[in-house]
Every structure is written in C-alpha cells, then in structure tokens.
Structure 1
C-alpha cells in the first residue's frame, strides 16, 4: 500500500472517521491509506495530530458508552416486559380456569 503523506486534510478525515464511531482504528487507517503502525507513530510523535485526534477518541468513547448504557437499559426493560407478560398470561389463565370451575 502506498502511504499517504501526513497533513491537515488527512488528519481531518481521520478525526471525522473516529468521531463517526462506526469504524475500528484498522478500518480508519485503511480508509486513510496508512498503516496502524503509522497511525500510532503519529499519535506518539506528532503533537498536532494527537491534539486533533485525542478529543475525537474521547468523544467516540463517550458516545459508545452512552449507547451501551441505552442498550443495557433497553434489554432490562424488555426482560421486565417479558416477565410482566408471563405474569399477566398466568393471571388470565388462572381466571379462565376459575371461571370454568365455578360456572
């Protein structure tokens, strides 16, 4: 793979891909036409690159944690609804049985 030269335009593209949150670092590097080794090397050696990408990484982690919390809450709600539906079905079933016993 021919490496792309470092620059502000490339950094902006990488930041956008990071903030999008849908891509792994490996996928971001592939889209930017750089290796992961280059990406991490730039993080270590290029202050301006790190200053641009670190806030994007923090934003991405925050967004992913919020999505994870929402997903966990949704799963909890679905479990509770499933439990409530089972209880409601049991109550209805018991009422029907009682109806036929006493009618």
Structure 2
C-alpha cells in the first residue's frame, strides 16, 4: 500500500481483457474446423473464471476485512458485464440460427 493507504491500480486490478488476434484462435484448430467452437468455449471459460473470482472475493470479504470493498465491487461488475456479453452473444447466435432455418432453398 502507498503512503495514502490506497493500493496502486496494478496491484488491485486484473490484466486487460484485450487479447492479440493471434491468441484468439489457434491456426491448427481453425484448419480442423474447430476455430469457432474453440472461440466460444474460450469465452465461456473466461466468464466462468470471472464469476468464480468474484464469488471468491465476496466470500473472503464476508469472512475477513482484508479485502477492499472497491476490489469486490470491481470483480462483481466485471462478472456482471461478462455474463451480459455472453447473453448478448447467445441471443445473436439464436437469432442467426432462426434466420438460417427460415431461409428457403
């Protein structure tokens, strides 16, 4: 902690969410036709990780007083936004599937 009693941002936060495009889908997986599935699974695993991290922080905060409130709040908000994004993606996928099924050949 610094002299003012506030931890530096780097010590509190998580790494940025942005991934290089080359890390999103492995070329070998894309050539086998698994690129889209791997991308969706990676996203869902990320959402699950954020939910687990937020749950762990909330439990630690309830038991101990060593977890700062702002850290718990940020973890909960990241988890909420991740779930909201996953629901938006799911909605778009379902909408696209219905559109494809309604196409006439």
Task: State TM-score, norm by structure 1.
Answer: 0.48
Larger Rg: 1 or 2?
A: 1
Choose between structure 1 and 2 for higher RCO, CA contacts under 8 A separated by at least 6 residues.
1
Higher helix share: 1
User: If the length of structure 2 is used for normalisation, what is the TM-score?
Assistant: 0.47
